[in-house]
Amino acid sequence: MADRYLRFTGTAPGRFLTRRLGLPQPAALTRWSPERPALDGGLLHLTAGRSGLDLAPVLARTGIGPAGSGRAAAVVLDATGVRDVEGLAEVHAALHPVLRPVATSGRVVLLGAPLDPADHHQAAAQQALEGFTRSLGKEIGRGRTVNLVRLTDAAAAESTLRFLLSPRSAYVSGQVIDVGAPQETTPADPDRPLTGRTALVTGAARGIGEAVAETLARDGARVVVLDVPQAGQDARRVAERLGGTALLLDMTSADAGARITEALPDGLDLLIHNAGITRDRRLVNMPAERWISVLEVNLASVLRTTDALLKDGTLRRGGRIVATASIAGIAGNAGQTNYAASKAGVVGLVRSLAPRALEEHGVTVNAVAPGFIETKMTAAVPLFIREAGRRMNSLAQGGLPADVAETTAWLAHPASGAVNGQIVRVCGQSLLGA
């Protein structure tokens, strides 16, 4: 459903009226398209503290040239060398004079260091960057985003910086992303980095799952569109359009993992757990069936099939698991105790499994946590609740399925091996939760 308020605020009368009334003034976001693959404008590279990172080669490959005297589309502040409160003053001094002219739909990315358990002054200063990032994201406005990347190796963060400094990350803001040791594999074709890889997307017959399958196929993957038999017609339609195959099965069946392995004798590179259901009702009015069905689809089936596909080697080394959590699992939501429990369970799965899966199987495990995304389901939500959902984030608008898909594609990228165990909210920096 069209966001008429967003369109209205883009007109001169709309801007005047909303400014006078103190109402949200969302800016239309610049998203990726073949005609607009990069941000419009240059990049400004700043430093606070003493940094040992050599960022120049990495930033040169992001597709954004230096800002020069023109308006910056992006600002990168290297604050990895900030070790005390005095260093935080340098953060203010660097950003204070340059933020106002940053372009609409621009990017601000702070680079921080892991917290040093042996130096509480450094840990305090680096943790301060998180509060700074989240607060700046909530005040910067005009469709601009602010994110923090913690890293020790510039090259290991290249895929993350390319994502955050591009139109692909339009609805990702206020996030803290930890990048570990280098695990990269440079794709032969940067424009189709998933060429030669097989991706299984569950719940891919429609909505967000369909958008994820479409984006992975765009990036070169052979896509297997998995959905329940009842959605067979839609699943086959999507698979045919993307040059992939449809796999019809119920993920809650005990033999789902075995059936996936049988259908993919050559193995699997990308396992995208997108399938999910809601059965909303307040706990005092929720029968056991509603509780059990949501936990079974959203969490138990994810656990079972992941275990099976790792154990039998169907998921090959260098593979990626991306599961779908939700901000409901992070912040909670009235009437969704079952759904929130299942999605919080996904967060727990990712955090626990990620280090072991990488060490034992060479596979990374991450999650996307969508907020209010414009789908047929949210279009059916009552008007006032829908409007509240759209406006209760720093970008003051709903996201699109493509926003979740682009974030998934970044986590699935061959060069994203250093990103592991992360829960990335795709919510426009929702005002609810962390």
pLDDT in tens, 113-124: 999 999 999 999
Let me know whether 210 and 332 are in one domain: yes
Whether 171 is a known active-site residue: answer: no
Look at residue 184 and tell me if it is in a domain: no
Last residue of a domain, one of 145, 178, 211: 178
Higher local confidence (pLDDT), 386 or 263: 263
Q: What is the mean predicted confidence (pLDDT) over 189-206?
A: 96
Let me know whether 233 and 381 are in one domain: yes
The CATH number assigned to the domain holding 346 equals 3.40.50.720
Let me know whether 346 and 287 are in one domain: yes
Let me know whether 227 and 172 are in one domain: no
Let me know whether 47 and 85 are in one domain: yes
Let me know whether 147 and 42 are in one domain: yes
Higher local confidence (pLDDT), 34 or 20: 34
Would you say residue 1 has pLDDT above 70?
no
Residue 10: its pLDDT value, please?
87
Confidence of residue 20 (pLDDT cuts 50, 70, 90): confident
Q: What is the mean predicted confidence (pLDDT) over 231-251?
A: 98
Would you say residue 203 has pLDDT above 70?
yes
Let me know whether 204 and 126 are in one domain: no
Would you say residue 381 has pLDDT above 80?
no
Q: What is the mean predicted confidence (pLDDT) over 390-396?
A: 94
Would you say residue 434 has pLDDT above 60?
no
Let me know whether 168 and 223 are in one domain: no
Q: What is the mean predicted confidence (pLDDT) over 362-384?
A: 88
Out of 32, 132, 291, 339, pick the active-site residue.
339
Look at residue 345 and tell me if it is in a domain: yes
Last residue of a domain, one of 120, 150, 178: 178
Look at residue 20 and tell me if it is in a domain: no
SS3 sequence, the chain? CCCHHHHHHCCHHHHHHHHHHCCCCCCCCCCCECCECCCCCEEEEEEEECCCCCCHHHHHCCCCCECCCCCEEEEEEEEEECCCHHHHHHHHHHHCCCCCCCCCCCEEEEEECCCCCCCHHHHHHHHHHHHHHHHHHHHCCCCCEEEEEECCCCHHHHHHHHHHCCHHHCCCCCCEEECCCCCCCCCCCCCCCCCCCEEEEECCCCHHHHHHHHHHHHCCCEEEEEECHHHHHHHHHHHHHHCCEEEECCCCCCCHHHHHHHHCCCCEEEEEECCCCCCCCCHHHCCHHHHHHHHHHHHHHHHHHHHHHHHCCCEEEEEEEEEECCHHHHHCCCCCHHHHHHHHHHHHHHHHHHHHHHHHHCCEEEEEEECCECCHHHHCCCHHHHHHHHHCECCCCCECHHHHHHHHHHHHCHHHCCCCCCEEEECCCECCCC
Residue 395 domain boundaries: 198-426
Let me know whether 298 and 367 are in one domain: yes
CA–CA dist 220, 242 (Å, integer): 10
Q: What is the pLDDT of residues 293-316, one digit of tens each?
A: 999 999 999 999 999 999 999 999
Let me know whether 327 and 366 are in one domain: yes
Q: How many domains does the chain have?
A: 2
Look at residue 188 and tell me if it is in a domain: no
Look at residue 5 and tell me if it is in a domain: no
Q: What is the pLDDT of residues 394-410, one digit of tens each?
A: 999 999 999 999 999 99
Higher local confidence (pLDDT), 158 or 68: 158
Residue 432: its pLDDT value, please?
78
Residue 403: its pLDDT value, please?
98
Tell me the percentage of the chain whose pLDDT exceeds 70.
Answer: 99
Let me know whether 117 and 234 are in one domain: no
Q: What is the mean predicted confidence (pLDDT) over 246-275?
A: 97
Look at residue 183 and tell me if it is in a domain: no
Residue 184: its pLDDT value, please?
67
Residue 357: its pLDDT value, please?
98
Look at residue 302 and tell me if it is in a domain: yes
Let me know whether 93 and 59 are in one domain: yes
Look at residue 336 and tell me if it is in a domain: yes
Q: What is the mean predicted confidence (pLDDT) over 44-68?
A: 92
Last residue of a domain, one of 131, 147, 178: 178
pTM for this predicted structure: 0.96
